Amino acid sequence: MSSRAPRLSAIFAAAASPSPRAPNLALVAATERVRSGAFGAEDARHLLDELLRYGTPVPGRPLNGFLAALARAPSSSACSDGPALAVSFFCRMSRAAGPRVMSLSSHTYGILMECCTRAQRPELAMAFFGRLLRTGLGVDVITFSSLLKGLCEAKRTNEALDVVLHRMHELGCVPNVVSYSILLKSFFKEGQVAKACDLFNKMIQQGIPPDLVTYSSIIDALCKVRAMDKAEAVLSQMADKGVHPNSWTYNSLIYGYSSSGQWKDVVRVFKDMTYRGLVPDIVTWSSLMASLCKHGKYKDARDIFDMMVLKGQKPNIITYQIMLDAYATEGCVVDMTDLFDLMLRDGVAPDHKIFSVLVKGYAKCGMVDRAMIIFNEMRQHGVKPDVVTYSTLIDAHCRMGKMDDALDKFNEMIGHGVAPNIATYQCLIQGFCTHGGFLKAKELVFEMIGNGICPDSVFFSSMINNLCKEGRVVDAQDVFDLMVSIGLHPNVIVYISLIDGYCLVGKMDRALEVFGTMVSAGLEPTVVVYGTLVNGYCKSGRIDDALIIYKEMLHKGIKPSTTMYNIILDGLFRAGRAVSAMERFDEMIKNGIPVNTVTYNTVLSGLCKNNCSDEAIALFKKLHVMNVKIDIVTITIMIAEMFKTRRIDEAKNLFASISANGLVPCVVTYAVMMTNLIKEGLLEEAEGIFLSMENVGCDPDSRLLNHVVRLLLKRSEIVRAGTYLSKIDEMNFSLEDSTIMLLSTMCLLKSIVDLPTVPEDGGEDFPEEEAVSAEFVLLNSTKEGKLLKWTAAAKVDLPLHTKIVLSNGLASRETRYMMSADKKFRIHL
């Protein structure tokens, strides 16, 4: 009996020693907590302490499962970076006990390498690989895949290529389709398309057949770089190998063609996709809509949206965001609001991106009050405005000059814990610079530096450039000086903007000083810098000074560009030096400088302005024979010259040939045709040109309409002139001063005034006095050029002689009426 009874010492020993399954259970429990998002750094420390207390080897499978779970764990409140925690846990465990508590395999190292890559520590992945080789555990293709990912993440793709082509074979591993796919993805990501394609072909030569994922990845990458011919070649090869494309493949092709604006190919691919029984998904529709919007085809994008809904595909928040952003960018706030209402009816809850788009749309149209309503609604829905939303509102206030409101919103943003970024500061600082608050702008610059946001040359460059384009070069100089005062070194682009600013206002001496400062700062002037100076001198009429700068550039060994020659040619023609200009043109061709359409237009226009019509026409015909690409500007220049030299039929024929040349007339082309036809007395043809202009959707501008009105008035074509005056009023254009001056001496009858008829027998006299009222159109000499109503009062003295007094309260005029053929007395002015 006593021999069967357990000894007390054995019982206590059993209780004290851990169960061999204890480490396993601890790791399984920890893995479950990782998957539920409840495992953090503190839990990792407790787990490590527990495993060390056991002092027995940790089973490899549960350890690998735990590390793999951490590697794939999404960010949570307990742990923001699972892969990094996995690496940290392993390193601490290794230092604390080493192999005494760890049972490692090559799979463990593979997981750790994967963790390092996911934690953006590729150098550690390679260190773990080296450690694995030293253990003698051996490596397999899966481990090598982890190494390849680490090398590619570290942008050492060429080393990864060497591993695939050589090292794997040396260690007894044969690369598989995954190995090659990792490299292909990396080469495409780095923009090395040729290398990727070569590797793809080599993969096939090695007898490794690409699978659907590989083919689709290749096609997707090629489409993203718009190499559509190569993408189609891979698709064809894919079909030959019996691999059927899926939705991802077609979505990539649709994206590639649509982003390139090749809409016929988009339709072809779309039809092929549906023919193969593949239903376009939300990604297909969204990709197509986004590309259309990117190319400004908002109406077509909306048609796609409506078609998608009709086919039963419910839009998601991304689809709505694409269309809302398109409307906001275009300033179509009514369409934007309607679509937003539809989104709410569809039960799609707006997020901060949607609200930010709405704020942008209203702010862009100057509807800041409406933007503020949306901003407040955003908060009421529990959506917190982010830095983009606040920056959009601040920018809107700045553009309207409401700097106090902008600053209030800026302070509110900080008060709500939203940190401003560099874009926030930029719009605020630019706003103060634009609206005369330079001292406040300067204060904000130092504030942002104090907050750890350091502005760079690009930050100030856009401000300086905008101010210079507005002719506010003094303010631009202040910003430039501020930039230098905080220790920044302006780059060549900043100097070009400032030089151009001084050139724009005709201060060439100051422009030359800035040029000198740039050279003193050790920056080498480029052909663009010299071109800016030369252009400034040419525009100021100082062609000789421009040529001196040009010769200095040549002396320094800087080769002139096409743009530089265009500037010189234009300057010489403007100065009336047509012979010198043509010598430069010949020199340009002789030196092999590319001649573009702008060059030809400059030469043709210059010859025409210098009365060298024959030379211009000869050059134009030569271009036609040589099949040189021309544009609508070229055609317009030559039409004007044909009219000028009385080649009327040739001008008409040239206009008629525009569509045959694949071109579309612009408003200037129509203006040249109309004005010259009116001068020639071909009024009906001019009206025909105007109608064709309206039919093709080309809207006339103010300059065209004013010019036509003046020409018609000079020809006493009052009724025809009235038609175009109505257009001016319709389109809310203003009358030009020259039009007003011409009209101020004329009064156009707007409604015919019928006076009593003359009795046929002449037996009755007219009443002693007959007061009539009529509405006349007199365009008074006001800037607005509004139509003023005049009142006519008539006193009948004799049957054919009635004095009419017109008055509108500002002035009065006298005229007489005449009897017309229908025996009605009508007022003629």
Chain segment 150-164, per-residue pLDDT in tens: 888 878 888 888 888
DSSP for 44-107 reads HHHHHHHHHHH-SPBPHHHHHHHHHHHHHPPP-SS-S-HHHHHHHHHHHHHHHHGGGTB---HH
Q: Is residue 405 part of a domain?
A: yes
- 33 lies in some domain: no
In tens, the pLDDT along 654-681 reads 999 988 888 889 999 999 999 999 999 9
Residue 414 included in any domain: yes
Confidence of residue 684 (pLDDT cuts 50, 70, 90): very high
Please state the rounded mean pLDDT for residues 786-796. Answer: 37
Alpha carbon distance 640, 638 (integer Å): 5
The residue among 555, 559, 514, 554 whose CA lies nearest residue 532 is 514
Determine the pLDDT at residue 812.
41
- Gyration radius of the chain over CA positions: 39
Find the mean pLDDT for residues 534-539.
93
Residue range of the domain that includes 786? 747-829
Q: Report the domain count for the chain.
A: 2
Share of the chain above pLDDT 90, in %: 25
Q: Among residues 430, 453, 476, which one ends one of the domains?
A: 453
Name 792's Cβ contacts closer than 8 Å, sequence gap at least 6.
Answer: 753, 772, 773, 774, 776, 804, 805, 806, 827
pLDDT of 560 higher than 50: yes
Which amino acid is it at 472? R
> Contact at 8 Å (CB) between 106 and 132?
yes
In the predicted model, what is the mean pLDDT of residues 568-575? Answer: 93
**Does the pLDDT value for residue 7 go beyond 80?**
no
Domain-embedded: residue 766: yes
Instruction: Determine what percent of the chain is predicted with pLDDT higher than 70.
Output: 86
319 token code pair: 């689809």
CA dist., res. 297 & res. 289, Å (int) = 9
Mean pLDDT of 367-395: 87
Q: 63 or 689, which is more confident?
A: 689
Q: What is the C-alpha separation between 698 and 123, in angstroms, rounded?
A: 61
pLDDT digits (tens, 9 = 90+) for 575-597: 999 999 999 999 999 999 999 99
- For residues 728 and 747, give the distance between their C-alpha atoms in angstroms, rounded to a whole number: 17
What b/e string do you get for 95-120 counting C-beta neighbours within 10 Å, with b at 16 or more?
A: eebeeebbbbbbbbbbbbbbbbbbbe
How many of the other CB atoms lie within 10 Å of CB of 625? 7
User: In b/e form, how buried is each residue of 308-333, taking b as 16+ CB within 10 angstroms?
Assistant: beeeebebeeebbbbbbbbbbbbebb
Selected residue with higher pLDDT from 20 and 490 = 490
What whole-number distance in Å separates Cα of residue 23 and Cα of residue 101?
10
Give the residue from 414, 431, 453 where a domain finishes: 453
> What is the pLDDT confidence band of residue 770, given thresholds at 50, 70 and 90?
very low
Q: How far apart are CA 630 and CA 623, in angstroms?
A: 8
pLDDT surpassing 90 at residue 816: no
| 515/502 Cα distance (integer angstroms) | 11
Domain annotation covers residue 806: yes
Give a yes or no: residue 406 inside a domain: yes
- Cβ distance 207 to 176 under 8 Å? no
Which residues are CB-contacts of 189 (< 8 A; sequence separation ≥ 6)? 221
Is residue 464 included in any domain, yes or no?
no
Which of 134-138, 192-196, 602-606 has the lowest average pLDDT? Answer: 134-138
Average pLDDT, the chain: 80
Domain C-terminal end among 395, 422, 453: 453
Q: Strand pairing partners for 804? A: 794, 815
For the segment 395-405, the average pLDDT, to the nearest whole number, is: 87
Helix H or strand E encompassing 797: strand 787-798
**In the prediction, which pLDDT does 102 show?**
59
Give, for 251, the enclosing helix (H) or strand (E): helix 247-259
Structural contact between residues 42 and 78, judged by C-beta atoms closer than 8 angstroms: no
Q: Is residue 286 part of a domain?
A: no
